[in-house]
A and B are shown apart, each in its own frame.
Chain A
Amino acid sequence: MLLRRSMIKMLIGLVLLANATNLFVFSAGGLTPASPALIDDGSRVQADSVADPLPHALVLTAIVIGFGVLAFAVALVSRLNSVIGSDDVEQVTEAEG
């Protein structure tokens, strides 16, 4: 999708890539079927094995960043579309000179 001539499709490609990356970080961090990383009332350490919360935190941050950046990219493509009158990447290259 990233390599398509249409800029809208390129955007869809970027969205897919960003989400795929997030899922990848999630799974590379190790998916464990354990309890959430919460400590019971009254005790100072967690009772039994817990899932690693760090990949969650990383992915959450990455999702927020990715959302912001993609929102900008959508606005940029929309503006470019109204200036050039086309969403064809070729038009952009031709106008470069």
Chain B
Amino acid sequence: MSLLVTLPVLIPLSAFAISLLMWRRPVVQRFVSLASAVLGLASAVSLLVHVESDGIQSVNVGGWPAPYGIALVSDLLSATMLILAAAVFLAGVVYSTATIDSSREAKGYYVLLNSLMLGVNGAFLAGDMFNLFVWFELMLISSFVLMAIGAERQQLEGAIKYVALNLVASALFLTSVGLLYGLAGTLNMADLSVKLSDSGYGGEQTVVAMLLMISFGVKAGAFPLFFWLPASYHTPPVVLTAIFSGLLTKVGVYALIRVFTLVFVNDAGFLRDVILAVAALTMVTGVLGALAQTEMRRLLSFHIISQIGYLLMGLGLFTVTSLAGAIFFMVHVVFAKASLFLVAGVVQRLRGTYDLPRLGGLYRSHPALSVVFLVPALSLAGLPPFSGFFAKVALVKAGLEIDSYAVVAVALVVSVLTLMSMTKIWTEAFWKTGPGEAKPDADFGGSELLLLGLPVIALAAMSVLAGIAAEPVFTLANDAAEQLLNREEYITAVLGEDR
């Protein structure tokens, strides 16, 4: 079933091509994107089912055998990531149809959304380093333009920082690709895994690994390389922030997990210590940054960074439990984060501002909205019975198992601080009697209410569902983690038995 592996690339590619041809007809583009999102989700789910029953799937595009040809590989982690991306994309497209103004639509908003999705899906499936680079660039250029589209002053200012820092990161990425090719004479990840673990290259490998860590760290928003994120994420329309938060930084984390579980396994002790230190600092700086903010989108942007720390912690501890925890956390945070941003968008639509001091009284006027905010917010803070709780339990347990008390302590303290800053949004925007009482809330049409409400509620429900049905999700995460640590399975799937 090679088609299943290529579909996550083919679907957004076709949608991209069709919407490009329909440049002057945004309404058609909307429906094409919607179809692409629904089909994408369906294909990702069937890919996961297939990978679960038949093991890791690898396809050689163009028929050239790996390691010479281009391989698309899907293991449980990539299939899971594809589903998460597709779900956020679907919610984003529905929300966009109600909130994106016609001037942005006329400048190719939906065309770019599809090319963004193409890059993201490609990155999850890439089987070699150079293709990973190409997919990254495709994703970045789409996000650059999406960030700047509309050309409001604030957006342009955010975009320039985002573009400059990410271009430097890409240059570093390409440098390390060159070094890897010079070292091992191959770029196929499975082949690299074999060659590098057989070879005597010690120091050189560590250099390349650190270069890649910096480059992916910028893209993931890890300490101390995250400054572009809070400077730019709050500037575009909020639905884009939600999509970016669900996709872009997570692709960076995915690349880190892939590279450090598959390619660089020599000298791993040092690398893992570095990752753990980075993880702890990322968690702390992210949450402290969030505590200082009073603008909803900025506050939530800092939380993205803080949550990236937890994901890195799972990678740094490097046991089956911790990687499973990281993957579970990924499922949790993608849904929780995207729905929080979308709720912030609804609040702005109602009251015309994201500023907490100028908000208030939303609980009295919109109790349903408050509940939809509260669920992912408590989940993010890690309260039972929501998904964030189980994800953090797994991470903490993994940390205690191998006596990494320091990072566990940091994770727990940051959790409390996260709850504090979520409480801040709750009291300021929803609980207190606000100055906004005098001005009546903006009215919704019935269809707009549906288009805004549906994705928000669906994402929040997924967040709850991942908590209630924690057992099957965790089993999946555990299988994915075992697969990550068992490199032989991946290598055999790509290179065949007789390598």
Contact = CB atoms under 8 A, between A and B. Distances in A.
A84 interface: yes
Contacts of A55: 178, 181
A28 B130 contact: no
Interface in B141-172: 141, 144-145, 148, 151, 153-154, 156-157, 159-161, 163-164, 167-168, 170-171
Nearest to A72: B144
B167 A73 contact: yes
B402 to A, nearest CB: 37
B227 to A, nearest CB: 11
B472 interface: no
Contacts of A10: 164
Contacts of B265: none
Interface residues of A, number: 35
Contacts of B324: none
A90 to B, nearest CB: 12
Nearest to B158: A96
A25 B148 contact: no
Interface string A72-94: 11001101100110000000100
Contact size class for B?
20 to 34
Interface stretch (A34-42, A43-51, A58-66): A58-66
Nearest to B153: A83
Contact of A79 (B141, B151, B154, B182): B151
A61 B130 CA distance: 10
Contacts of A30: 182
Interface string A7-37: 1001000100110111011101110000000
Does more than half of chain A's interface fall in helix, strand or loop, or is it mixed? helix
Contacts of B167: 14, 17-18, 69-70, 73
B178 A25 contact: yes
Nearest to A2: B168
B174 interface: yes
Given A24-B175, A25-B181, A28-B182, A80 B157 contact: yes
A84 B168 contact: no
Interface in B110-162: 130, 133-134, 137, 140-141, 144-145, 148, 151, 153-154, 156-157, 159-161
Interface of B: 130, 133-134, 137, 140-141, 144-145, 148, 151, 153-154, 156-157, 159-161, 163-164, 167-168, 170-171, 174-175, 177-179, 181-182, 231
Given A2-B164, A72-B163, 9 more contacts: A22-B174, A25-B181, A28-B181, A58-B130, A58-B181, A70-B167, A72-B144, A76-B144, A96-B157
13 contacts: A17-B168, A17-B171, A21-B175, A24-B175, A24-B178, A29-B182, A30-B182, A58-B130, A61-B134, A72-B144, A77-B160, A79-B148, A79-B156
Interface of A: 2, 7, 10, 14, 17-18, 20-22, 24-26, 28-30, 54-55, 58, 61-62, 65, 68-70, 72-73, 76-77, 79-80, 83-84, 92, 95-96
